[in-house]
Structure 1
């Protein structure tokens, strides 16, 4: 089928939708390239001549493979995370850590936002496209909704500390693989240990399952407080719905509001208001 005709607006939008669904959401060059107008290189049917080494000559050196990310070692990740004595050190370690392949596909590290002295810590799932661009968790529409949710109970980003289960954006906003989660989890645990929050609220099902070590769904678990051990830190934790989910399902905001009221009551009981 010929692809020589110019695409109309509807067809162009359809192509963009297809790219977005495939996880392509960043341009790699400033100028667009019409791949349909390019001609494939002519096939070279002649087999390359095979050069045999002279008798007694040393074997040719192997061609080195292209450098790239390799799978990390969870034991090494745990040792690196444990060596951090401050949040600044932990951030520096993550910036130089090459064990998780997500780093090589993300724009930058998304470490944290808010007050590191806060006694309330919010843990999300993984950075999205806007977080990847700005280097901060929960920005864009979901971040704006989160700010309004916090303001409804007298909180803002100066009174909470916000992090993600995974500090690099997965391509196309896919869910992190179990291997990627295992490599990132020691750094999240150390982050919690260094912040030492009295209350932890997870946002979304993936963050809940990671922090609470459960396979139960978010709808069944949300709004319930539990005693938690995250790394070596003991705290109280509650899961609630992710702001992005609330944007897609506005009717669920009623459930999230009940969770916020429960958080406010817990803050008051512990003198954190």
Structure 2
């Protein structure tokens, strides 16, 4: 009889640091490593429990005096786009999306740097190098993919090798109950396309096609205006003290 037990993940707590979302607040995180043959299984369980993945680390907030960060997931099978979302889909009907292995390219990194320099000049990722980007993409022990979005060149067919300008990329974990959007970026010169919205809508459609229920969006931070967009995708569930609960939809549907 085999009495050897399966190793359990070890959890650690970070030191307090300045919160990047709410002024005057300090943040702490609990984290564990996602490595080994059970990494994909653990990623599923931890994501369903409110964790997020960054490279081979799964983490969640563990702040002492604040509970503003709330995990959210879209119920893909019940989702109905709003009028403004339908306009976003129409505006991007010339895009072709392809799923790629989690392997970085110089083309992706150039787009990534352009996005950071325009949108996150003073953020924690602002000084990331090509090597840093490669590690962000490749350092995964779970089922991770890149989804590239290109403007279709005239005359190229659906089955052709994708051509055209790369304008958006999503780093996505393929989970047993849906898709988890780890990180996404896009060319800021195409503001009118609302590419951030389009990528979320595309993930909802992909999840529905797979017959899976959830698209995980990470954390909605109450009181942080830059996170308010996550509440627009309804119906959705938020992870509360008693488990996943349906949230109330926002009162307005503002465009991006």
Give the TM-score of the pair, scaled to structure 1: 0.28
Rg larger for = 1
More relative contact order, 1 or 2 (CA 8 Å, 6+ apart)? 2
Higher strand share: 2
Give TM-score, length-normalised by structure 2.
0.29
